[in-house]
Amino acid sequence: MRTAGDDVRNCFGLVTVLASLLAAPAGAEVLDAAPGGFTVAHERIIDAPRARVWEAAVLEVGDWWNPDHTVSGDAARLAIDVRPLGCFCEYLSTTDGVVHLTVTTVSTGVLLRMTGGLGPLGLMGVNGSLTWEFWDADDGTTRVRFTYAVGGYADGGLAVLAEPVDGVIGESLDRLATYAGTQ
């Protein structure tokens, strides 16, 4: 049975996630930003073979994702069910959880596309498409690009959210690069 305390804790968790998103450092990869939406993209070369980087990205997301960008504060609760209509979910208990994004496209080792409002964007009247792309690069390294296009409605417009979201996406790719490149 839910109590008022549960609701307060859940609200506090969502406010914490929103605050961390808005406090994220600005990046230089905002491709466009307008009142109705924005697109951000980041690309890195990771010192690991593509199969390893894919595995780290999609099967070990809880090991590299920043716990500050979760509802629970525990990235180990994250998992991606890598199949169409699979879930990028955060499991809070055996019965409770959060759908952060829904998997819409999978090309194993090449592309993962997920849709939805990542983090606090899920509380707004927006939708987004987050695409992770993987290519072989020189000398056994992997080129990875994260692109997130968001559109919809938010009071005051969405352009103001482009830079904070850009910071989170860039940080996420940096964390993946560090994790996968050292394994």
Summarize pLDDT for 58-109 with one digit per residue, the tens. 999 999 999 999 999 999 999 999 999 999 999 999 999 999 999 999 999 9
Is the model more confident about 114 or about 10? 114
CA distance 170 to 163: 10
Q: How many CB atoms lie within 10 A of CB 149?
A: 17
139: β partners: none
Q: Where along the chain do its domains lie?
A: 4-182
* Average pLDDT for 107-128: 94
Q: Is 45 left (phi over 0), alpha (psi -120 to 50) or beta?
A: beta
Q: What fold is seen in the domain 4-182?
A: Alpha-D-Glucose-1,6-Bisphosphate; Chain A, domain 4 (3.30.530)
Banded model confidence at residue 22, pLDDT cuts 50, 70, 90? very low
* Alpha carbon 43 to its chain's center: 14
**Does residue 59 contact residue 82 with C-beta atoms inside 8 Å?**
yes
Query: How does the average pLDDT of the chain come out, rounded?
Result: 87
- pTM as predicted: 0.83
How many other β-carbons are positioned within 10 Å of the β-carbon of residue 65?
23
